[in-house]
Amino acid sequence: MPAGHRFARCARQGVALAEAGGESWIRAGDPADQHQLLLTACARAGFTPRVRHHAVDWYAVAALVAHGFGIALVPRLAPVPEPYPLVRVPLRGEPLPVRRFVAAVRRGTEEQPPIARAMAALCAAAGDREVQGV
């Protein structure tokens, strides 16, 4: 959210996605997955987002949001430039948008140092989220 947005003061407790039904939206990230995530999450929350702008690059998304052109769903791992007057406001309640990452390696290669390091880094980035091994 832009720092002056009415939801910005909710940065600690978060907002329910349904509360943002009347907002203008910026379609952020790769349209193949991020736009579908936005549409699905908003439909589950009971509204269709009014998408006013589109940007693939997260820095461009941040600039559009900072200048008040709309709000966007931004993954926690996406960079947000320091100088922009933005506030990350977490979503709370149901429904919450969910993304899944799948990493597959050939059987017997998971112990090779580069692969083991990559898998460890992915698990560390996932933090306390669900991580499944096969």
pLDDT in tens, 93-107: 776 776 677 888 899
Q: What is the pLDDT of residue 43?
A: 92
The predicted-structure confidence for 17-39, as pLDDT tens digits, reads as follows 999 999 999 998 777 778 888 89
Instruction: Read off the pLDDT band of 81 (50, 70, 90).
Output: confident
* Nearest residue to 65 via CA among 27, 32, 101: 27
Percent of the chain with pLDDT over 70: 92
Structure tokens at 89: 């406001």
Q: How many angstroms separate the Cα of 127 from the Cα of each of 29, 77, 100, 121, 130? A: 22, 12, 14, 10, 8
